[in-house]
């Protein structure tokens, strides 16, 4: 686009047609050197047509440049207005920040005063609690000593009772040992008696069993003989 504008300026400033034709010829030579495949001859008519075409294109480019300039101016005005609006908003925000800063500073001062008041109250409470803790500690010390004395007395009493229980347990143990020995002798005697009675009952049971077994087999033999006699009566005669 810059080369076309330069060509237009050269043509516009040319003193006569010869100089203008020379400028166009140099332009075509530069074009041929840049694009070697363009090997056709340039005539005066072609030069005129090309000049007109280039003039139209240059005018079109100039119109586009003017349009772009007007758009740039409009954009510049729009941006300037937006920048002014932003500046106003920034100033407003700054004023709001200052007001907020003042408000927060005041609130911080109020909070500091409250903190100092709370600290003084905490110190007073701490002193009061320290005194109460010391008093409670003294009372607890006294109570602990009293409880220790009471527990010592109770422990001595329990020790005496334990010794008494131990002596009673020993006496009870001796008594139970004697009774266990007596019961053991009685159990042995009863076991011997039961054993002799069991052996006698077993002997009697064996004799009775043998007697009944003999009678059972005798009756079985009689039945078998009777059956054979019934089955074979002729052989018996």
Express each pLDDT in 94-153 by its tens digit: 899 989 989 999 999 899 998 989 988 988 898 899 888 988 888 888 888 888 888 888
User: Tokens 């007596």 appear where?
Assistant: 182
pLDDT above 90: percentage of residues in the chain: 4
In the structure, what pLDDT confidence band is assigned to residue 28 with cuts at 50, 70 and 90?
A: confident
Cα 200-206-210 angle, rounded to 5 deg? 150
Distance of alpha carbon 219 from alpha carbon 230, whole angstroms: 16
pLDDT at 236: 47
Contact (Cβ atoms closer than 8 angstroms) between residue 53 and residue 24: no
Q: Exposed, middle or buried, 54 (CB in 10 Å: 0-12/13-18/19+)? A: middle
Express each pLDDT in 53-64 by its tens digit: 778 877 887 888
Distance of alpha carbon 66 from alpha carbon 78, whole angstroms: 18
Contact (Cβ atoms closer than 8 angstroms) between residue 1 and residue 61: yes
pLDDT at 237: 45
Contact (Cβ atoms closer than 8 angstroms) between residue 2 and residue 61: no
pLDDT at 108: 92
Contact (Cβ atoms closer than 8 angstroms) between residue 32 and residue 38: yes
Q: Which residue has the higher pLDDT, 3 or 231?
A: 231
Span 142-168, mean pLDDT? 86
Q: What is the dihedral of CA 192, 194, 198, 201, to 10 degrees?
A: 120
Contact (Cβ atoms closer than 8 angstroms) between residue 20 and residue 51: yes
Span 6-13, mean pLDDT? 75
Residues contacting 229, CB < 8 A, separation 6+: 236
Contact (Cβ atoms closer than 8 angstroms) between residue 4 and residue 30: no
Span 74-103, mean pLDDT? 90
């Amino acid at each position: 686009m810059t080369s076309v504008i330069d060509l237009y300026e050269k043509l516009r400033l040319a003193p006569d047609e010869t100089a203008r034709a020379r400028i166009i010829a140099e332009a075509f030579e530069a074009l041929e050197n840049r694009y070697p495949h363009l090997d056709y001859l340039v005539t005066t008519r072609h030069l005129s047509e090309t000049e007109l075409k280039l003039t139209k294109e240059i005018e079109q480019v100039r119109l586009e440049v003017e349009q772009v300039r007007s758009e740039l101016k409009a954009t510049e005005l729009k941006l300037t207005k937006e920048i002014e609006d932003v500046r106003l908003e920034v100033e407003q925000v700054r004023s709001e920040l200052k007001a907020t800063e003042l408000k927060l500073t005041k609130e911080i001062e109020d909070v500091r005063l409250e903190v100092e008041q709370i600290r003084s109250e905490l110190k007073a409470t701490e002193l009061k609690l320290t005194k109460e803790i010391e008093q409670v500690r003294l009372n607890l010390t006294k109570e602990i000593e009293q409880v220790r004395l009471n527990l010592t007395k109770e422990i001595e009493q329990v020790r005496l009772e334990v010794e008494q229980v131990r002596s009673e347990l020993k006496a009870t143990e001796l008594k139970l040992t004697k009774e266990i020995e007596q019961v053991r002798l009685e159990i042995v005697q009863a076991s011997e008696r039961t054993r002799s009675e069991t052996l006698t009952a077993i002997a009697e049971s064996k004799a009775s069993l043998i007697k009944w077994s003999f009678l059972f087999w005798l009756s079985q033999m009689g039945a078998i003989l009777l059956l054979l006699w019934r089955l074979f009566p002729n052989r018996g005669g």
